Every structure is written in C-alpha cells, then in structure tokens.
Amino acid sequence: MLALVGDAFGGRGGISQYNRDFLGAVAKSGMNVLILPRNAPDPYFIPNNIRQTRPRAGKLRYSIHAIQTALRARVDVVFCGHLFMASLAMLIARLKGAKLIIQTHGIEAWPRPTLRQREAVESADLVLSVSRHTRAAVLTWAAIDPTRVIVLPNTVRSEFVPEEGSRIRAILGMEGKHVLLTVARMDSQQQYKGQDRMIAGMPRLVALGHDVYYLIAGEGDDRPRLEALARERGVHDRVRFLGPVPTRQLKELYQTADLYVMPSTGEGFGIAFLEAMATGIPAAGLDVGGSRDVLADGELGICVPEVDFLDAIDRALTAPKPDRNELAKAARARFGRDKFGAGVQSVLNRLKEAA
C-alpha cells in the first residue's frame, strides 16, 4: 500500500493520529506500507511492515516524488489520506492499475470540493469517512455508489483509561468545584469548536447555582477573542486558558474535569470526546455533524441541539456521577482499538472482494 498523507508518523493532530492508526492496522494485517508524508515535525518510531520516506512539503516536489516513488515500487493499493491529494492519488492509482482508497475526515469534505477532487472520489474503489455525517456529505456531491462509502470511525489510544485523582485540580485550586473542560484548537479562521458558546453560557450556569469553572486547553490565534468574550460576560475569573497541553499530560487533564464539553458545529468525528469518555469522563456536545457519532446519538454522551445544551449541562452537573469504568468500557466497546482493527480488516476484505 502506498499512502499519500499530510502527516502520519512524526505528525501532530487528529488526522495524523488516524493515519498512524489506520496504516498501523494495515501493516499489522501483513501488508507492506510505504508512507509519503508532507510533514513530520516530531521524532517518531516506525512499526514493522511500514516504511516512511523523508517529508516533502512543497506541492510540486511532493507530487514528483510521489510519482517517481510509485513508478519504482510495487503498488496494489493507493491510500489517500486527505481530499487535497485525491487527484494525485487517482493519477498514481491509474498509472499503477492499483486500487484507490480516499479518506475523508470532516469539514474539508462537507462542501463540494474541486471538480478534479470530485472526479477522484467518484473513481475510488472505497471512500472512508470517519462519521455518518461526513459520509452523507460526500454522497451529496459525489455520484458514487453509496455502498462504496464506508464509515471507519477514529479510535482512542490505549493510555486513555480511567484513573482516580488529578493533581491539576489541586494546582488550579478547584477542589470541590464543578470543572468543565474543552481541549481544542482556537482557530480564528474556523471558530466552530464552540468555546465561545460555552463561555457565553457560563453566566447562566452560575445563575443556576453551580460553582463552575471552565478550562480551555489548546492553542491558536482565536484566543484573544475568547479571552475578551470571557471578560465581557464577566466570567474571566471562571474561565482558565491553559495553553497547549503536551499529549502525555492530556489524560490527567481529562481526569480533572467533571464534564467534557464541546458544543462544536464542525467535528468530523470529535476525537477529544472519545479520549474524555475513554478516561471515564462524561462528554457533552451538539447533535451536529460527526459529534453525533462519537456521542452515539446520546447513548454514550450528551448529544443535544444547541438550544438545549446548557440545560443538559445543568442536569449533568446535578445528577450523580456515572461509573467511570463503565463509561470507559462502553466507549471502547464502540471505538476501542480492537474495533478499529476489525474495521480496517473489513476495509481490506472489501478491497479483496472488489479484486
């Protein structure tokens, strides 16, 4: 399998993690994987059956490198990790007579893409989507048999498991308080993650009698706007911006919260919901986009329309806390690594059937 990806091993963020999970599972099944990344900023370790070339950031350099590499290598399957590389992936798949898998994540695949990207998707043997919503969006603009568009949801790393206690709560002086948490980028171009909605709702939660604090982890150029909003709403003392949190500290940060909240309108899936729930922390989001999948339409987490969101948080803070281990078990029963591995095997089975 030749994988064209933005980043995988040595990359950052949810898509990079997904690529590592997917390609790792493919390699585990016995297939050799050659990864061509555009970026790999961090040091990394490569598992068996996988090779990853040096990153090439420039579009032209990357394309030439990809075609040259493909011509020299044996390629049975081309995996395209992002829609923006779909045309190149289609070209290589045609040159090599290989099967083509195109991965779709979130907002990049919701509106109609360029005509060439659409053509590539329509020519693909399989299109993978991380959620039902992204799959439905692809089917609105692509004239492709719906049976070829498959949902393969994100999975969660094994270190996210329930553990008692968190030093962070004590450090922040929040013992005995209600703690809400969002872990997300603050991108002024996108602004869909919903930290602003949550900040705007804080006065109401306080008015309802909750001694509640809101922790925002992550970085981004939208932070000044959000800080200003907190001041404007008079809740700046209850909203704490923690800045970027290293991956190794994320689990402990989740343990700090009573409730993970992310009223986002643009999640392809919403991996942070899953990390929180796998850690045993209940999660709340909107019944919009891919959030519905990770929250299992309300069966795993709170999943409500925006208008009901604060009421739902109010109820969750008042209700007895759920059993952490049970919640973590339920989250893994749907999105655990074994399920993901089985899902990847299904994808490979489907490719074989199409042969």
Partner 1 sequence: MCGINGIYAYHRAANLPKEAELLSTRDAMRARGPDGAGMWWNTERRCGFGHRRLSILDLSDRATQPMISDDGCLAVVFNGEIYNYPQLRVELEAAGVHFKTTADTEVLLHLYARSGAAMVHRLRGMFAFAIWDGQRRGIFLARDPYGIKPLYTANDGWTFRFASQVKALLVGGQISRDPEPAGIVGFHLYGNVPEPFTFYREIRSLPAGHTQWIDADGVREPVSFVNLAEILATGGLCPRPQAELADRLRNAVVDSVRAHLLADVEVGIFLSAGIDSGSLLGAMGDAGQRKIRAITLGYEEFCGTSEDEVPLASQICQQYGAQHLVRWVNRKEFHDDLPSILEAMDQPSIDGVNTWFVSKAAKEAGLKVVLSGLGGDELLGGYPSLRDLPRWRFWFGPFARVPGLASFARELAAAIAPGFSQKHPKALALLKYSGSWSGAYMLRRCLFLPYELPRILDTELAHEGLRRLKPLQRLRDSITPDPGSVAARVCAFESANYMRNQLLRDADWAGMAHSVEIRVPLVDLSLLRTLAPFIPAFQQPGLGKSVLARVPKIPLPEDNVARAKTGFGVPTSSWMITANAKGPWAQWPGAGTKGHTSRAWSLAVLNSWIPGNITRETQAA
Query: Under the rule (CB under 8 A), what is the footprint of partner 1?
Result: 129, 131-132, 135-136, 139-140, 143, 145-151, 153, 293, 296-297, 299, 334-335, 339, 342-343, 346, 349-350, 353
Quote the CA–CA distance of 28 and 64 in Å, as a whole number.
Answer: 29
Which three-class secondary structure state does DSSP give residue 192?
coil
Quote the CA–CA distance of 198 and 285 in Å, as a whole number.
Answer: 11
Q: Pick the closer one to partner 1 by CB: 110 or 213.
A: 110
Quote the CA–CA distance of 312 and 318 in Å, as a whole number.
Answer: 10
CB of 346 to partner 1, least distance (A): 4
Q: Pick the closer one to partner 1 by CB: 145 or 164.
A: 145
Q: Torsion-angle region of residue 294: left (phi > 0), alpha (psi -120 to 50) or beta?
A: alpha
Q: Pick the closer one to partner 1 by CB: 84 or 141.
A: 141
CB of 351 to partner 1, least distance (A): 10
Q: Pick the closer one to partner 1 by CB: 38 or 135.
A: 135
Q: Torsion-angle region of residue 69: left (phi > 0), alpha (psi -120 to 50) or beta?
A: alpha
CB of 101 to partner 1, least distance (A): 13
CB of 202 to partner 1, least distance (A): 32
- At 197, which helix (H) or strand (E)? helix 195-207
Q: Pick the closer one to partner 1 by CB: 235 or 300.
A: 300
Q: Pick the closer one to partner 1 by CB: 237 or 353.
A: 353
**From start to end of the chain, where are the E strands?**
2-5, 33-37, 50-52, 77-80, 99-104, 126-129, 149-151, 178-183, 212-217, 239-243, 259-262, 283-286, 302-304
CB of 140 to partner 1, least distance (A): 7
Taking the CB of residue 310, how many other CB atoms lie within 10 A of it? 20
328 contact partners, CB below 8 Å, separation of at least 6: 161, 162, 277, 278, 279, 280
Quote the CA–CA distance of 202 and 314 in Å, as a whole number.
Answer: 11
CB of 12 to partner 1, least distance (A): 25
Q: Pick the closer one to partner 1 by CB: 56 or 148.
A: 148
DSSP 272-296: HHHHHHHTT--EEEESSTTHHHHTG
Q: What residues are paired with 77 via a beta bridge?
A: 99
CB of 284 to partner 1, least distance (A): 18
Q: Pick the closer one to partner 1 by CB: 158 or 349.
A: 349
On whether the CB atoms of residues 143 and 122 are closer than 8 A, the answer is: yes
Q: Pick the closer one to partner 1 by CB: 140 or 189.
A: 140
CB of 236 to partner 1, least distance (A): 39
Quote the CA–CA distance of 287 and 347 in Å, as a whole number.
Answer: 27
Return the DSSP state at 260.
Answer: E
CB of 353 to partner 1, least distance (A): 7
